Chain A
Amino acid sequence: MKEAEVKYRLQRTTQKYLVLRLIAAVLWCLCVIVTCLAVGQLLSLPIKISWFTALSLSAAFLVFQSIRTKIFSITQGQMMSFINRQYPELEESTDLLLSEDHLLTSLQRLQKEKSSKRFELLYPTLRLPVRLVWPLAMLAATVVIAAILLYFFRTRTADISAFHVLAKKESPVSAAVSGLKNIKVVTLPPRYTGLQSKEQEHFNLNIPEGTIVAWEISFTGKINDPKLIFNGKDTLEMGPSGKYQFKAKSTFFTSGFYQLTWRNTHGKRKFSDYFQITVSPDAPADIKVMELDQFTELSAEDPHTINLKTILTDDYALRDAYIIATVSKGSGESVKFREEKLRFTQPEKFGGKLISAQRPLDLISLGLEPGDELYFYVEALDSRLPHANKSRTETYFISLKDTSVMTTSLDAGLGVDLMPEYFRSQRQIIIDSEKLLKQKKSLVREKFNARSNELGHDQKVLRLRYGEFLGEEFESSIGPVAGVEEHHENEDITKVYGHQHDTEMEHDAVEQPAGRTQEKSDSETDPSKAYAHAHDSEEEATFFTQSIRSKLKAAVTIMWDAELHLRLNDPQKSLPFQYRALKLLKEISQDSRIYVHRTGFDPPPLKEEKRLSGDLSELRNATAKDYKTTNERFQGVRKALAYLANTNLTRVPLSPEAKSIFIRAGKELSSIAIAQPGRYLKTLSIIKAFSEGEISQADRLDAIDKISAAFYSVLPVESYSPRAENELLHLMDEKFIESIDAQPSGKRK
């Protein structure tokens, strides 16, 4: 072998050693990286942090390894020393191979030649002190262990975290439900709203009334039987739409909440958190009448044309608007009405959100004469489908003054004219109600309902007028509140119109401290109130004597019921109340004239066969039994509260019994959450996670506090009930009482 070739081979060997060392170091670094990433995943650390840690540690390891193994400081001399040590047959003469011949002695040259030949033979079998097997095996083992750990732990974490988090407003899919790959929620508002469909990637919904919502949910793995549960009771099955992909569709008219549920591959049912559904109802149009007082009296000199200007607004679009005008002629019981529907002159067609509409009202052409009255209101329909929202203004009154008539009061004692003429009398409402009942078969249901509702309105006006005389000021407006005419089917109309007090939630709504502040402010503003003996109440400050007042009050109360049934589109039921109200009004009007109305007792005719027979067999004592144990409201919530107070749950896991208690309480809470989803949804999620034992021990105390707060806040304040006292009288107490009783009363002092 030539000398140059030997040198080349030695250099090559050194380079090879370097490369192998580097490969080994890199393989060890890869082991470090894989370990770091796996640990990061297991601890759910952000991926950036995992990578940063992995790269930092591997770089540090690389530097350490290169220093330890002196990779970058290996020389050919060191390599030759290694070869000399490893191969004794070279007789420690490898360094001679690199020496120039002229620098060597003859013996050294001889040895060089000998060594050169041996090196040539040894070169193919030369083994360097680097073993890649270990780092490779370590890397493989690390990868396998990391894969196994990630597979099992990530599956479990996915199951657990399905219960967590979520209710945030804009929670991304990954945070919402682990195990979900992708979610697409498409909301399609009703066409009449003119709103575009939207696509979102979170579960919380904020949509207009009547919106169709379509979900398309992709899972990361196989799941079964996915469903959406609305308000804790209605279930919507999701159909498959691809591999691990499911879809469902629903239309929403009311607010509430929902959750996603599915079965995992082991058959265990999993539930997501609760998500909010906020439905914005389509508000009825808002109508403002400009530059016109509600009560206008015109004299003969005033212009008899009034320009009616209105501004109509709606949240989506207006469809129509018109004026309902009624001309009232005559007076007292002979009053006559004529009703007309007037169109606005401008604009002729309605559309858009904001419209300024107007029409001149020519009183002469409407047939008004001095002494007559015109009362009208504006009614507007919005674009809502299938049933438009109808709203109307309060009734406006225009009267033409008749100076030729003088109002005289025959009854000086009464002092006021009880019968204002610009509203229908009770008798007229009765006549109209009966007429409506007769026409019921010929009228379509909507028309019938509308007329019944109008009669209800008239009844309300009448009631308010009479109520004014009683000093009732709690309802200031005669006209209806916009949008109250139509109610959703699910709404309890009796609650809206009924005369209700003392419902539990009313009391609940009033916060005690506020009440206390009020109490304080009352006494602060007028400290004498606490000590004064108030005699004159507002109820008694009327024009009437006690008997008339009570009758009038009774009449007004009956009118409430008459109006209620008219509003409920049931004039038949309303009629008896109307008759009773009329009877009372008649009595009131006649009260001051009748000084004595002597009535005799008309006994029922006697049965001659029983007379003086002494037969008392049919007369018996009567006994009634009544077992009505009233259960407290929110029994589940009360039970759960008691359980929370009695048991130290910060450490002890929930027993199956306790779980069922919390599930029942959660159901009761969810019934309230439907009405106030924003308030209790988060708590419902916590209860769910708590009862499933998914809350960590560190967070338990906080969770218990939140659950207790929600439970306690839903409990109503009820009236205080008497309670049997427990008393233990010691023998000495008894003797003491006896000795006191034994003393003569004079001595006791």
Chain B
Amino acid sequence: MTIDPVFSPWLLISLLSLLTIFFLWLELRRRLKFIVWRCTAVCLSMIAVAAICLRPGYSVSVTTNILLLTPDYNPSVVDSLLRARPELVTRQIDGATSYKNSQLLTATDLEASKQQIAIIAGEGLPTYALDGVGEFQYYGPDSRAGITLLNTPNDIRVNRGHTISGAYNKTSGGKVTFYLESPAGKEDSVDLTSMENIFSLSFTPKQNGKIRYRLTVLDSGKTYTEPIPIYVNPPSPLNILIIQGYPTFEVRYLKNFLQRRNHSMAIRYQLSKQIFRYEFVNRKPTALGRISPDLLSQYDLLIVDNEAINNLSPGERSVIRTSIDAGFGVLMLLNKVPQGGLTKDIFPFGVTSARRDSAVIKIGSTSYTFPALPIRPRPNPEMIEVTSNASGTLSGYFRARKGHIAFQLLQETYRLVLSGDSLAYGKLWSPLIEQVAKARGSRSAISIGNQFPFYIDEPVSVRVISRDASPRLMADSLAVALIEDPLIDGVWTTTIWHRISGWHTLATAAGDSLNYYVPQNTEWLSLKKARQLLSNRRASNHEQDESQVRTYAEKKYPPIIFYLIFVSATGFLWLAPKL
């Protein structure tokens, strides 16, 4: 038995005890009959008062399994479930159509009843609301037409081709056409025949920053359009050091190409044994006499040919190797077949001779023929190809601890520039250079845990990895409190809610930022439902579990009983002298 006293039970008991003694004394003083009965009535009345004030109760075991109805549930499925398990209590959330004997669960009630949910029917609970829900079975709705999956690239760069892919759920067997539209108009299109449901569309952004693409779907004469928010990362110029045995057209054109894109470079050509020519592009002149760790720390990438690498002293080569291990990138332009083998510490690939001294490669949809050094690196699982053809790898790189070592066997690629095809020249060189160059160390990284789309007033979980002891996060210029992960150092989390749709920015004090888009409530509904359905399915227990969740509920004795006892006892005390 439990009590729920209105005020301090000890005080109450003391007071009532005193009153009981007093009333008993009064009754004993009165020379009347029914003395025993009157004393009993006094005690009973005091006990009744004590019970009214102490509110005694008892605990009972009850079953509270909930069948939660969410929007778009199938009533016939619910009927069957209730027939099979009549002990289930039906509850519904906002937006679900009403069902007999079903009560509406508010957001607060839902939070309190999560453990009791045994079955969810309909489109399910939002992903963020599934936390805390115990084991449950899920009965989803019938499949609907619409986009059910969307993959957009994470790191989008200006003037580079990217692909958006996704899946589309078709209800009819007809053709479905997808158009990807940039602000200027249609950029790509694709038809899905009756057997396909995966689409892929390509685009090349021409401007960095925030761009709203549009995805238009034409299905069975109906058209609907969804926005695809794209954030194109701004260009970030590289610092490149070029060391050459002698000047070549290849490096001259590469330098011009990089210069036009505002990269800064320092170039050293060896004109004779003691005479060098130095060129500094978009940067101040510095001493390039001897390769030292300090010198290499100023650059992201070293481009060097075999002549120059062979002329370096063992000490300089050792410095380069150490820098590579620390994250530096080296690109070797092999312009002649190395005699007596390559410097193993910097160029660790084994090579085999090739039959041809030219190579046909495909850049985009066009084939190009270039002279190529008649050697190919031996197949190596650690090597990552960048350009290759049937004869082998023509350019590629491998990771050496934190850094990269790359090579280029193609020669006279400047002919692309001469023929006016600078787009192909960029496609040939840029991937190699940017994958090899040293990554800029940032102090923090921001990521969002929710999958697109997430809407206004939905909790968005943010994760910050920071090297700072106490990082600061700004959400659209408002400071947000961060909680550090109790197990992993430097990992911080927080949850934010958005009040308006559109572009938002998260930024750390270290200067790193993340731009993302919150769609309007009417956008991307099919994708939202598909993702919600999937997360409910993943969270649900597929096995039939009919075990009842029994909980102990507190039940109070009805106070009316004590009241009646009190009235009866006091009534007897009033009546007794008159009898």
Contact = CB atoms under 8 A, between A and B. Distances in A.
Contacts of A522: 365
A695 B441 CA distance: 47
A625 B285 contact: yes
Interface string A129-154: 00000000000000000000000000
Contacts of A549: none
B433 interface: yes
Interface in B125-160: 157, 159-160
Given A516-B188, A645-B209, A721 B261 contact: yes
Nearest to B417: A502
B365 A720 contact: no
Given A621-B276, A627-B282, A724 B262 contact: no
Interface string A624-645: 1111111000000010011001
B41 interface: no
Nearest to B272: A619
Contacts of A737: 401-402
Contacts of B430: 719-722
Nearest to B271: A622
A500 interface: yes
A512 B188 contact: yes
B439 A724 contact: yes
A715 B211 contact: no
Nearest to B161: A720
Given A630-B259, A730-B490, A623 B285 contact: yes
Contacts of A533: 360, 389-390
Contacts of B441: 727-729
B428 to A, nearest CB: 10
B238 interface: yes
A715 B430 CA distance: 21
Interface in B465-513: 465, 467, 488-491, 502-503, 512
Nearest to B265: A626
Given A537-B369, A717-B206, A628 B440 contact: no
B236 interface: yes
A626 B279 contact: yes
Nearest to A506: B420
A725 interface: yes
A726 interface: yes
B189 A723 contact: no
Interface in A594-643: 616, 619-630, 638, 641-642
Size category, B interface: 35 or more
Interface residue tally on A, bucketed by range: 35 or more
A383 to B, nearest CB: 40
A716 interface: yes
A641 B263 CA distance: 24
A490 interface: no
A674 B229 CA distance: 33
A626 B259 contact: yes
A387 interface: no
Contacts of B253: none
Interface string B441-465: 1111100000000000000000001
Nearest to A535: B360
A623 B285 CA distance: 8
B237 interface: yes
B434 A712 contact: no
B205 to A, nearest CB: 9
Given A516-B202, A727-B441, A720 B502 contact: no
The 9 tightest CB contacts between A and B, nearest first, are A501-B420, A719-B426, A727-B439, A713-B184, A721-B261, A722-B434, A645-B210, A712-B184, A712-B183
7 contacts: A502-B422, A516-B189, A623-B278, A630-B259, A646-B209, A720-B426, A722-B434
Given A630-B260, A713-B185, A721-B430, 15 more contacts: A516-B189, A533-B360, A628-B259, A629-B282, A709-B185, A712-B182, A712-B184, A719-B423, A719-B426, A721-B159, A721-B426, A722-B431, A728-B444, A731-B490, A737-B402
Interface of A: 500-502, 507, 511-513, 516, 518-519, 522, 533-535, 537, 616, 619-630, 638, 641-642, 645-646, 648, 705, 708-713, 715-732, 737, 741
